[in-house]
């Protein structure tokens, strides 16, 4: 990882969106009374005539965004991820079914938000959104990848959901040149185990792998920032190199990135998988550090779980 100051991917999104608005006049932004939290306010300040404050009315916002997309605009629809998945029916019919090229932005992903508790924690959003036909599901690991994805979404041919962190996360990439939608990025080589991490836990997973390297355990770490569609080419090659794979995500293990990888491996017919995420329980309220520890997501806890699976 680089020594650049950590930044939340929601902050990187706001900055990237404001920049995108300079070169793409058809970009419009909708928010549901959360623009300071989603960071869409950075766009609103520069382009107030292209920003729509929809109030606490997410279902109406989704319908409006679909209409704008179908008339040729490029709408970015912003809210907390928990509120996005709570309006699944509107997304299903107004966006997915009509193939409207809406870019759905869900911030405050996972237990990493800490104090706000379960009502604000997006824990099932990936499960919901990845079931929809042609819906691209993204979760960038750092600011560089967030910027790259927002730029690419201006030309993306399908509706898309992008999941962002409230908490600051370290920069895990050194360059944005090869960061593309649909590609898994290997961040660290290794021969004994493959860790597939996504979003806010990529940094911790990478640190855990480096710690285990000191103990003679060689772990490859890869960033799965496109959860749908999965990078089948990378996974096929990975299964040739590794018999054991771990997935790590700040999301329910049911239906999340780990579930998508499990489906792929089941069809491939080989490989052993261990999924790390939130089990069948609700989110808790506490400091971000305490909540991350409660779910086993800290660097030392991940290192211990990686080592245990390696030895199993």
Check the CA dihedral 275-279-282-288 and report its sign: negative
Condensed to tens digits (0 to 9), the pLDDT of residues 176-231 reads 778 999 999 999 999 999 999 999 999 999 999 999 999 999 999 999 999 999 99
Cα distances (angstroms) measured from residue 31 to each of 39, 71, 92, 128, 197: 10, 19, 19, 21, 29
- Choosing from 119, 137, 169, the residue where a domain stops is 169
Condensed to tens digits (0 to 9), the pLDDT of residues 242-292 reads 999 999 999 999 999 999 999 999 999 888 999 999 999 999 999 999 999
- Which pLDDT score, from 0 to 100, does residue 90 have? 97
DSSP state of 175: -
Cα distances (angstroms) measured from residue 174 to each of 4, 13, 64, 195, 244: 10, 18, 38, 19, 27
Number of H helices, E strands in the chain: 13, 14
Tell whether 238 and 99 lie within a shared domain.
no
Specify whether the CB–CB gap between 172 and 202 falls below 8 A.
yes
Condensed to tens digits (0 to 9), the pLDDT of residues 18-49 reads 999 999 999 999 999 999 999 999 999 999 99
DSSP state of 109: B
For the annotated catalytic residues, the residue numbers are 58
Tell whether 142 and 194 lie within a shared domain.
no
- Which pLDDT score, from 0 to 100, does residue 162 have? 98
Residue with tokens 């499990």: 262
Tell whether 117 and 190 lie within a shared domain.
no
Give CA–CA dist 27/69, Å, rounded.
10
Residue 51 banded pLDDT, cuts 50, 70, 90: very high
Tell whether 217 and 117 lie within a shared domain.
no
174 within some domain: no
- Which pLDDT score, from 0 to 100, does residue 175 have? 85
Tell whether 123 and 191 lie within a shared domain.
no
| pLDDT of 78 higher than 90 | yes
Q: In what order do the strands lie in the sheet with 226-228?
A: 51-53, 27-31, 74-80, 103-107, 160-163, 136-138, 226-228
Give CA–CA dist 105/140, Å, rounded.
12
Tell whether 115 and 247 lie within a shared domain.
no
Specify whether the CB–CB gap between 164 and 141 falls below 8 A.
no
Tell whether 215 and 93 lie within a shared domain.
no
- Which pLDDT score, from 0 to 100, does residue 246 have? 98
Domain that holds residue 49: 7-169
Tell whether 132 and 165 lie within a shared domain.
yes
Give the chain's mean pLDDT: 96
Give CA–CA dist 18/6, Å, rounded.
20
Query: For residue 273, what are the β-bridge partners?
Result: 245
Domain total for the chain? 2
pTM: 0.96
Tell whether 217 and 115 lie within a shared domain.
no
Give CA–CA dist 246/194, Å, rounded.
6
Give CA–CA dist 20/195, Å, rounded.
33
For range 117-132, the mean pLDDT: 96
For range 92-105, the mean pLDDT: 98
| pLDDT of 1 higher than 90 | no
């Amino acid at each position: 990882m680089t020594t650049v100051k950590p930044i939340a991917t929601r902050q990187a999104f706001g900055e990237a969106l404001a920049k995108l608005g300079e070169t793409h006049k058809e970009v419009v932004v909708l928010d549901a009374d959360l623009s300071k939290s989603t960071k869409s306010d950075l766009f609103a300040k520069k382009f107030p005539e292209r920003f729509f404050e929809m109030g606490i009315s997410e279902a109406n916002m989704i319908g409006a965004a679909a209409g704008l997309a179908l008339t040729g605009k490029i709408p970015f629809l912003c809210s907390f991820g928990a509120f996005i998945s709570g309006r699944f029916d509107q997304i299903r019919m107004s966006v997915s079914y009509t193939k409207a090229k809406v870019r759905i932005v869900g911030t405050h992903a996972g237990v990493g938000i800490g104090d706000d508790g379960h009502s604000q924690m997006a824990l099932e959003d990936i499960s919901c959104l990845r079931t929809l036909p042609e819906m691209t599901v993204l979760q960038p690991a750092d600011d560089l990848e967030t910027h790259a994805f927002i730029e690419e979404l201006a030309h993306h041919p399908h509706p898309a959901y992008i999941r962002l962190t409230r908490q600051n996360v370290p920069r895990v990439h050194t360059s944005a040149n090869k960061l593309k939608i649909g590609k898994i990025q290997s961040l660290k080589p290794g021969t004994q185990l493959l860790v597939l991490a996504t979003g806010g836990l990529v940094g911790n997973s990478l640190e855990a792998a480096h710690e285990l390297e000191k103990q003679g355990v060689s772990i490859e770490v890869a960033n799965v920032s496109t959860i749908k569609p999965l990078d089948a080419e990378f996974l096929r090659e990975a299964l040739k190199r590794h018999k054991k794979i771990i997935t790590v995500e700040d999301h329910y293990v049911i239906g999340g990135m780990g579930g998508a990888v499990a489906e792929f491996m089941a069809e491939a017919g080989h490989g052993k998988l261990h999924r790390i995420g939130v089990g069948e329980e609700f989110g808790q309220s506490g400091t971000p550090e305490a909540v991350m520890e409660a779910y086993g997501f800290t660097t030392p806890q991940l290192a211990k779980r990686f080592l245990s699976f390696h030895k199993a």
